[in-house]
Structure 1
């Protein structure tokens, strides 16, 4: 781990200024916000992340869960995963989010990890984590060792010839299905970004993962109210029962009337370069009968265009079955 300086701002504006100023002063050298540190410190130990300065934000008032005026819910950036997963409003109104968080990591990690930190969680690609190997995400232009290498856990949707790393988060798959909005404070003021627009596909710049700019600080995430009677569910398929990343997962939200689907949201995890929202599957399901055949048809559409590698072709069928089963369980 490289030496670093720790900065402790007293307010959100101070934090924004500190991170932006430090980034400018160090001419692109990494300066990071740190809260729980469950992901960042891990990569600092591996010398994958080498920030010269850390802006420590745990003292900021961003750790509340509050109702919003439109009937939704506001999750502070510093709310710990355990607190969110067990909060009564989340459990009762957004069970898909509670289930997703509880399916990830361990109790100890969830006690420290934050909502915003989870939004920015880095890939667990073995080549990204090992500085001895070429990785375009870690060092642009060096190549992608996963293509043609060990790629069983890699993405099959949204990849490019520069990067096939998968996004590891469970929380963010649920937030995709819930149409969450990310609220950001930056050097140019406040702005909001729908989570569906927050992540960037690897394309030719896999090192850029989100729309955040230097100085941008996530302050909270808002989730809109769901239609009355809507049901939601998160299903995660993995190699072992706990403390394991998804091979494929599905977050679904749907409401039926007279046996037909009149509201539906679908997102997939473990298979995308980003948490993967499938509007095509949603369109295929809307207005249709809630039957196993229609669920399977939607799953086929969701995985259309998948680009499996040498070792992860099984994910195509696995993800289809995962989504089909998640939809079946949700209506039950």
Structure 2
């Protein structure tokens, strides 16, 4: 790890004004410090944001607001989250370890980098790490990589579980810039597909910082589930994950939400499957048909064809589990 200077500011505008290509923000540090140890990130300046961002989690009649500095563990056990937005808690508890959840901030979780092994190996070409160098994973060891939405330049997947629940629940990212101006970014537009710029993970402006995440009030608080399939049961990233939520009325599905991790460069929503389920009975046959719609457009790589049936099974299981949360 190369030497760096450490700073702490006293307000958002001053903090953001110091951000540039040579500086990085640090909150819990659960991802950035690893990247620095691997010499993937080599900032000259580290700016502590703990003192300028809120860690408050609060709900009103219209929304849940999660402060950027809220720790993953505190959100997962928050009473309002457990009562009305329990899908978020289920997703968080499926990720990392208790020690990391106690340190990791929610905004930092959203900004974490991929765990593709070639990204972490600085001796190999990686367009995400060094644009234009090539993608080692595309023809290499890619069992953990994408099956949809990838490009010739990158087949990496997004690593967060928390973000899959935010995608399913139509969250909004609240940001502030160096002029203290507020901006809202719909969560579906926050993370990027790789295209020919896989080095860019999000659409967060350079001169901005995440202030909070807001989730609109919904009817998915009771019937939801999060299924994560991985190589081991603790502290492992998803091969495939599915967040499922149902809004049931008079025995039928009034609305549904389906999102996945482990399949794409960003949290992936299955809109066609959701639309199929609207107005239908919550039966095994309909859940199976919805899963078939989800997998029909998958394009597995050389070593991850198993993800197709794995995703199908995970989606059916998540929908079934939503009926008996």
Q: Taking structure 2 as the reference length, what is the TM-score of the superposition?
A: 0.96
SS of aligned partner of 2:316: helix
Q: Hey, what does 2:201 align to over in structure 1?
A: 209
The question of 1:199 aligning with 2:191 is answered yes
Q: Hey, what does 1:295 align to over in structure 2?
A: 287
Q: Hey, what does 2:144 align to over in structure 1?
A: 153
- Structure 1 pair 112–263 and aligned structure 2 pair: CA distance change class (3 A): same
Q: Hey, what does 1:225 align to over in structure 2?
A: 217
- Structure 1 pair 228–254 and aligned structure 2 pair: CA distance change class (3 A): closer
In the TM superposition, structure 1's runs of 4+ consecutive aligned residues that sit over 6 Å from their partners are none
SS of aligned partner of 1:44: helix
The question of 1:277 aligning with 2:249 is answered no
- Structure 1 pair 126–228 and aligned structure 2 pair: CA distance change class (3 A): closer
The C-alpha deviation readout for 1:31-90, integer Å capped at 9, x for no partner, is 21110000011010000111111111111241101124x432100000001100111111
Number of residue equivalences: 323
RMSD: 1.3
Q: Hey, what does 1:170 align to over in structure 2?
A: 161
Q: Hey, what does 2:316 align to over in structure 1?
A: 324
Cα distance in structure 1, aligned partners of 2:3 and 2:203? 28
Alignment partner for residue 129 of structure 1, among 112, 120, 124?
Answer: 120
Deviation at 1:293, TM superposition (A): 1.3
Asked if the contact 2:14/2:178 (under 8 Å) is kept, the reply is no
The C-alpha deviation readout for 1:219-270, integer Å capped at 9, x for no partner, is 0000111128752211111111111111111111211223211011110111
The question of 1:51 aligning with 2:43 is answered yes
The question of 1:84 aligning with 2:114 is answered no
SS of aligned partner of 1:255: strand
SS of aligned partner of 1:122: coil
Cα distance in structure 1, aligned partners of 2:6 and 2:99? 24
Deviates more, 1:304-313 or 1:110-119: 304-313
Q: Hey, what does 2:299 align to over in structure 1?
A: 307
Cα distance in structure 1, aligned partners of 2:58 and 2:15? 23
The question of 1:100 aligning with 2:91 is answered yes
The question of 1:6 aligning with 2:6 is answered yes
Asked if the contact 1:159/1:307 (under 8 Å) is kept, the reply is no
Unaligned residue ranges in structure 2 (runs of 5+): none
Q: Hey, what does 1:26 align to over in structure 2?
A: none
- Structure 1 pair 54–14 and aligned structure 2 pair: CA distance change class (3 A): same
Cα distance in structure 2, aligned partners of 1:281 and 1:15? 43
Q: Hey, what does 2:233 align to over in structure 1?
A: 241
Cα distance in structure 2, aligned partners of 1:207 and 1:182? 21
Cα distance in structure 2, aligned partners of 1:228 and 1:157? 26
SS of aligned partner of 2:28: coil
Asked if the contact 1:234/1:250 (under 8 Å) is kept, the reply is yes
Asked if the contact 1:264/1:286 (under 8 Å) is kept, the reply is yes
Asked if the contact 1:94/1:232 (under 8 Å) is kept, the reply is no
